[in-house]
A and B are shown apart, each in its own frame.
Chain A
Amino acid sequence: DADVTQTPRNRITKTGKRIMLECSQTKGHDRMYWYRQDPGLGLRLIYYSFDVKDINKGEISDGYSVSRQAQAKFSLSLESAIPNQTALYFCATSDLLSTDTQYFGPGTRLTVL
């Protein structure tokens, strides 16, 4: 079984809809991250969480919110999706004792029509 899983893997939705992307991990890591990937821009950080009670904004948090339901679960929400949020979304984790290396989930391809 994969250490970091994301659901759904692919999603098509319409403008204005609320969308939740979910991430679960079995690595036992404290730190979790959400990124979006756009062609030619690499990965950009949306939000990150050091533990269940700690949530921090990243470079591009506008239009997104997150919830850390447990150490192993970190969800990303788009309250009212818009077309320029069409992207590939990645969840990642890192260990408190080795925060320099991140481990990624398989990604969610989101299309907003």
Chain B
Amino acid sequence: AQTVTQSQPEMSVQEAETVTLSCTYDTSESDYYLFWYKQPPSRQMILVIRQEAYKQQNATENRFSVNFQKAAKSFSLKISDSQLGDAAMYFCAYNYGQNFVFGPGTRLSVLP
């Protein structure tokens, strides 16, 4: 069965600095999708970034970028120029077909 691991339950970053959240996953598939979702205190799940496994180029969305290492089954999220509004739970997720698996989450605090 596929699993998603986020080894950092909590992290903190100074405002305007850069932080990297880690995610590893286990799969025997070669063509799948990976996601980072953000959950602020409002509870809403917000899609941050999406990566297609068959694309070698790392996805980027404004201040958010990923480091996708397919062979290592690693998918980390880098947040640049951190803002107070980035404070939230961040979930890494894997999808193959209708199999959606989420990691346990990393709580990110942003310090002013």
Contacts and interface: CB of A to CB of B under 8 A. Distances in A.
A42 B44 contact: no
A50 B97 CA distance: 12
The binding surface of chain B is classed by DSSP as strand
A48 B98 contact: yes
B108 to A, nearest CB: 15
Count class of interface residues, chain A: 20 to 34
Contacts of A31: 98
B25 interface: no
B111 interface: no
B35 A101 contact: yes
B104 A100 contact: no
Instruction: Please name the 8 residue pairs, one residue from A and one from B, whose CB atoms are nearest each other, closest first.
Output: A104-B45, A42-B102, A100-B33, A43-B102, A107-B43, A42-B104, A100-B95, A40-B104
24 contacts: A33-B100, A40-B9, A40-B104, A41-B104, A42-B91, A42-B102, A42-B104, A43-B45, A44-B102, A48-B98, A92-B45, A99-B95, A100-B33, A100-B50, A100-B52, A101-B33, A101-B47, A104-B44, A104-B45, A106-B42, A106-B43, A106-B44, A107-B44, A109-B43
Interface of B: 4, 9, 33, 35, 37, 42-45, 47, 50, 52, 91, 93, 95, 97-98, 100, 102-105
